[in-house]
Amino acid sequence: MTGAPATIAKPVVAPVVAPVVSSPSTELPMVSGPAVPFLEIETLRAREFIPAAKESLMALMTEQAQGKVIRPTFNWAGRNSLFPLHWGLACCAIEFAAAFGARWDAERFGVVPRSSPRQCDLLIVNGTVTWKVAHKLITLYEQMPEPKWVIAMGNCATGGGPFRTAYSVVPGVDKLVPVDLYIAGCPPRPEALLDGILKLEELIRERGE
Ligand code: SF4
């Protein structure tokens, strides 16, 4: 018989791959990328270190500045430029007005009355406060920005004065808002108001520094 000899296909033998045996006790964790040279590690450390050091330094400087420069400066400016709110209720308000006239000239101390609570940092309550206007007083106080201060001028604002037992009178404005300074008198004279303002400036200095 003639013809092409039959060929027998050789079986394909899969290459034998040796199993990878790892010993967890001795091997270090593998990294995917190439090994990082020493200098790059130093750069990475610097990148992390410099912002952290800068942040700490800035926080320290801010704290120091607030404690030694900014806070005393704002305190000095604030206590020497008090802006009281117009809140005249009774006879004491006439003494308040006189204090800002030509004779006593309270503005030489930097005290300039304003008509909007949003521009004021000092509420001088002078006069008889009734329960009918109590909520208005609280609203005006809450509309003033911080830091703010309150002076109760005269016996009525301090404790109700001669009308203390009246059903309609608030027996002291400290029932409504926190009072920092009381000025006694019925009425207190403009000199007493000026003295009270100077004492409040001293109080602000003590509290703020
Ligand atoms: S304390 Fe005297 S002066 Fe002042 S509002 Fe009262 S009654 Fe008038």
Atom from ligand 1 closest to the CA of residue 158 = 1
Average pLDDT over residues 190-197: 94
| pLDDT tens by residue, 77-135 | 888 899 999 778 899 999 999 999 999 999 998 899 998 999 999 999 999 999 999 99
Q: How far apart are CA 16 and CA 74, in angstroms?
A: 82
Choice among 12-21, 117-126, 176-185 with the minimum mean pLDDT: 12-21
Q: Containing H/E element for 111?
A: none
Q: Is the pLDDT of residue 161 over 80?
A: yes
Backbone angles phi, psi at 52, to 5 degrees: -65, -45
Locate the ligand 1 atom nearest the alpha carbon of residue 187 and give its number: 3
What ranges in 18-83 are assigned the alpha helix state H? Answer: 38-65, 71-79
Distance CA 85, CA 30 (A): 73
Q: What is the average pLDDT score of the chain?
A: 80
Name which CATH class applies to 84-199.
alpha beta
Where are the chain's structural domains? 51-80, 84-199
* Protein residue with least CA distance to atom 8, ligand 1: 91
pLDDT tops 90 at residue 75: no
Q: Supply 47's token pair.
A: 């990148």
Which residues make Cβ contacts (< 8 Å) with residue 51, sequence separation at least 6?
none
Judge if the beta carbon of residue 166 lies within 6 A of ligand 1: no
> Does the beta carbon of 156 lie inside 6 Å of ligand 1?
yes
- The pTM (predicted TM-score) of the whole model is 0.69
User: Which protein residue's CA is at the shortest distance from atom 5 of ligand 1?
Assistant: 127
Which atom, in ligand 1's list, is nearest to the CA of 162? Answer: 7
Residues 178-200 have a mean pLDDT of 93
